[in-house]
Each structure stands twice: as structure tokens, then as C-alpha cells.
Amino acid sequence: MVLFGPPGSGKGTQAKLLTEMLGLPHVSTGDMLREHIAAGDALGMEVREIIKAGQLVPDYLVIRLVEDRLDRADCEAGVLLDGFPRTLDQARMLVGMAEGRGLRVLVIHLKVDYDVITARLTGRRLCPQCGTLYNIRLKPPIVAGRCDIEGARLIVREDDKESVIRQRLVGYDAQTMPVLEYFFARVRFFEVDGSDRKPEHLAKEIVTWIRSAIDADTDEISGEGL
């Protein structure tokens, strides 16, 4: 299963809920790469500067990482991929890898109105001392502009400024659209609007779709759906 969603869409929350509900491992290439950087190994050294610069890690490195991960025993029944694939070559490789392992690819696209995302992220405030995150609309501090724990003056993170958020969303579109179009024509694809839904409700709807997609595939394989 591949989960797509723009920054600020709540993709991280959905990944967590879905892996819990389905009992499948959550495989995030971003997390795996950060683990290698933290370990200071050869791969970590190779990708450190690339990630710092906000660029994409070369396909062959990410593909190898995902292939190794999919070969582990806990992925036999399936896996929830997060942050992969990000390029057409990675998407093609994934379809090939899945076929070779007798797995199907299901794609979930979490769509959220960009004005909603901008409102969510520009409302975020950070305590520079303890790192606690607030949101002036959704999770305000007790005293406006001050951290509940430290009393420090809250700040807006550099990448939560509106112009930066718009830039990140444009970047997401440019990177993701070709990959989504590739999948749309080839695999089971579910687009769900998460603009004003409770995360738990959204996750339930996604799981219902996943189950029906799996049932439809099983029927097709056994011939019952024909």
C-alpha cells in the first residue's frame, strides 16, 4: 500500500492509524534514511548532504533500501509505504517488486484543500526552549503567545511561513503528479478528501476501501468476479 499526501495533510497520523488497524509494518523511506544518518554508516554519509539540501536521494539507493526492507519476514503479508515512490522510476520498480513477490499495489491519495493546509500550518507555533508545538486555532496555549511549560515567547518555524508552505505544496504537486498519474492507470487507486474529517473516521473509510479492493482482487484471481 502506498500512502500519498501533501505536507500538512495529516499523512503521518493516517500512516500510524492504518498500520495499527491493519497490523502491517509502516515503511517510511525518510525515516530509514534518517536512521542511517544517525548511525553514521556509509549510506548515511552518502545521503546526509542531499537530504539537508532538500533534494531527492538517487533512485538506485532508495530502491535498494526498499527492496531489502520488503525482503524481511514481517513484510510478507504486505506493507504500508510512506514517502516512496517519489519518482516514475521508483514507481515502475515498485510495481515490478510487488509482482515478483506476489503482492498487489494499492494507492491511497489523501487530498486536502491547499487553503486548509496553509491555515493549519501558518497557525502552528513552537516553543524555542522545549519544542512543544501549538496551533493558535486548533491547540492554543493557555496564555496567548506563551509556552504552557516554559512561559517562553512562541515562534513561527521558518518552514511554516506562508510563502514557504506554498512553495512546498507546489514542489509536492510537481513531484507527485506524474507518479499518481502512472499509478492511476495501472493499480487500484483511492482518492479521499481529508480537508475537514476526523482522522479516525478517515482511517476507517480508507480501511473499508482497502478491504474491498483486496476482496475484488481475490474474486478476480479465483474467477468469481468475472
Query: Rule CB under 6 A: which residues touch ligand AMP?
Result: 29-30, 33, 50-51, 54-57, 62, 83-86, 90
* Amino acid residing at 202: L
Of 142 and 174, which CB lies nearer to ligand AMP in the complex structure? Answer: 174
Q: How far is the CB of 88 from ligand AMP (least distance, A)?
A: 12
| Cell numbers given for 131 | 519544542
Cβ(56)–Cβ(86) below 8 Å: yes
| DSSP per-residue codes, 20-36 | HHHT--EEEHHHHHHHH
Of 49 and 196, which CB lies nearer to ligand AMP in the complex structure? Answer: 49
Of 66 and 213, which CB lies nearer to ligand AMP in the complex structure? Answer: 66
User: Which residues have a catalytic role annotated?
Assistant: 11, 86, 124, 157, 168
Question: Which residues lie below 8 Å from residue 221, measured CB to CB, with a gap of 6+?
Answer: none
Q: How far is the CB of 75 from ligand AMP (least distance, A)?
A: 17
Q: How far is the CB of 42 from ligand AMP (least distance, A)?
A: 17
CB-closest chain residue to ligand AMP:
30
Distance CA 226, CA 162 (A): 51
Which strand (E) or helix (H) includes residue 163?
helix 162-184
Of 4 and 154, which CB lies nearer to ligand AMP in the complex structure? Answer: 4
Distance CA 20, CA 70 (A): 19
Of 23 and 54, which CB lies nearer to ligand AMP in the complex structure? Answer: 54
Distance CA 216, CA 208 (A): 12
Q: How far is the CB of 60 from ligand AMP (least distance, A)?
A: 11
Q: How far is the CB of 226 from ligand AMP (least distance, A)?
A: 36
Which residues on adjacent β-strands are paired with residue 190?
108
Question: Which residues lie below 8 Å from residue 93, measured CB to CB, with a gap of 6+?
Answer: 59, 63, 85
